[in-house]
Structure 1
């Protein structure tokens, strides 16, 4: 059983990652840290608490950073005013960035902040821990800067971020990386195994609409939540970012958890030399992969593709087994 800490900016794909990690018999989710990203930090933290109450698990939640490390300095924005995506369209809130249809949480975040928790936990653990950041990498990067010795107790960092042929925040950039590119590069350069679950992988592993019925047929609160989430994600992707097939949507962050359950779900995983573009122009946040025959020494595993059927089966198996 892998011991993990999830680092989230909770929208619906983060919510599904929390659900899968908490309910999987193959994973020990020891804590969840929150970060700004899909929404401002207070909302991503509230969403995270909502989800932990939905699944009735006593998982500690630690509130983290409210903005990027340095990007606000050259975007002329204070950290708390970082450029966040507007969570609205003509129908109102877009569910995976807007408000969840869940009760207000009764629990609150823990007293210590996310970065302090990461450092203390990694310094005192008796077994190695896998970090799974699925939002901007601000918390993880700061922990690595403050306490570089923590890499000794990190088994792997599994990151949802980046893309080779796919992007969403800019022409070439994925939002988790573009939101804090310096943090992404700090994590990328850490001397620890890193697996990047990119948009190329999450898009090819997108779930089609038939999974809505599969989830509803479980007749559980969690199954219904999963179904409602997929309905809204498909609606939004059909309208705002149509993919190669209609009525299909990626659940980006959940694919990171599926990889921990069954690594073969990433069916094209390459060991490469990766850099993050930090130029303050249109290329910011882009993945730079050295494909030369005399390329630099590989420093990361990058997923180019995901297995849709296998991903769907992993999701359904976890949801069924939680009944």
Structure 2
């Protein structure tokens, strides 16, 4: 059993990540925190609360940072005005925890024994960076950080920068710069996780309300991604980070120091992975290859367990 804090900005693929975290028996979802990214903090928090209500999540849900540390906020167009594309959730939301998301992260980590809680941020890294600055003890207390963001080959927001990192590159620099174990599940990996028509057919065959919701969300997601030449199906980024926590054998990783570019005119937000003979104490690694069939098996089995 792995205990996680899911820091997210739902977001279509965030929604699938939350479903996977809520349903897999190997995961204890200790807390859900939200951060502005795919949409405003108000919208992503409402989405997270309604998804939690739909899925029967009992973990506290708290709103975190509403803007990057330094930069001007910029929302994603892929996820639509609501953050969930054309899908509207009408169910009752779970209550909002009164704590700030940063405080919930800190308190959840420190309430457990050292080495128990894994942080899984799948949006901009603002909350995680703020938590580190407010309470540095969490660096030695967490088990690891498994984040969705970055890429060592190419970007999606620019030629070299991925959206989550570019949204708050200073926060990313803080997170990568701390000496805790970090696994970067970036675009090089997540672009392998395509929700093809065959995958959508398998999900639809599950026949549950959760599965129907995923098909609707990924259909909307696919329409947006076709403009970016993903004709086979949209890449489903965020569940890959959760899947790695559940079963690390699904993903091949490679150890490398990672630097976030903060000053380049054309390279701001680039995650530079140095594959040249990393030092033995290198604490960062990047995800390289995904076992695609087993990944989708994991997601679909989780959907079968949901209400």
Determine if the TM-score, normalized by the shorter chain, exceeds 0.5.
Answer: yes
Are the equivalent residues in 1 in contact too, given 2:150–2:165 (CA < 8 A)?
A: yes
| Residue 312 (structure 1) aligned with residue 296 (structure 2) | yes
What's the offset of the Cα at 1:108?
A: 3.1
Instruction: Describe the superposition over 1:102-122 as per-residue Cα deviations: whole angstroms up to 9, x where unpaired.
Output: 115343311110011112222
| Residue 287 (structure 1) aligned with residue 274 (structure 2) | no
Are the equivalent residues in 1 in contact too, given 2:256–2:278 (CA < 8 A)?
A: no
Are the equivalent residues in 2 in contact too, given 1:20–1:257 (CA < 8 A)?
A: yes
| Residue 173 (structure 1) aligned with residue 161 (structure 2) | yes
TM-score calculated relative to the size of structure 2: 0.93
1:82-101 to structure 2, matched below 5 A, reads 82-86=73-77, 93=80, 97-98=84-85, 100-101=87-88
SS in 2 for 1:130: strand
Cα distance between partner residues in 2 of 1:294 and 1:271? 7
What's the offset of the Cα at 1:33?
A: 0.3
Cα distance between partner residues in 2 of 1:189 and 1:159? 14
SS in 2 for 1:292: coil
| Residue 142 (structure 1) aligned with residue 130 (structure 2) | yes
Counterpart pick for 2:247 among 262, 265, 274: 262
Distance 1:247 1:53, change over 3 A: same
Cα distance between partner residues in 1 of 2:46 and 2:56? 15
What's the offset of the Cα at 1:230?
A: 1.9
Cα distance between partner residues in 2 of 1:105 and 1:264? 37
SS in 1 for 2:10: coil
In structure 2, runs of 5+ residues without a counterpart are none
Are the equivalent residues in 2 in contact too, given 1:5–1:132 (CA < 8 A)?
A: yes
C-alpha RMSD over aligned residues: 2.0
* Residue 237 (structure 1) aligns with: 225
1:80-159 to structure 2, matched below 5 A, reads 82-86=73-77, 93=80, 97-98=84-85, 100-103=87-90, 105-126=92-113, 128-159=116-147
State the aligned residue count: 306
* Residue 78 (structure 1) aligns with: none
Distance 1:117 1:96, change over 3 A: closer
TM-score calculated relative to the size of structure 1: 0.89
Are the equivalent residues in 1 in contact too, given 2:24–2:302 (CA < 8 A)?
A: yes
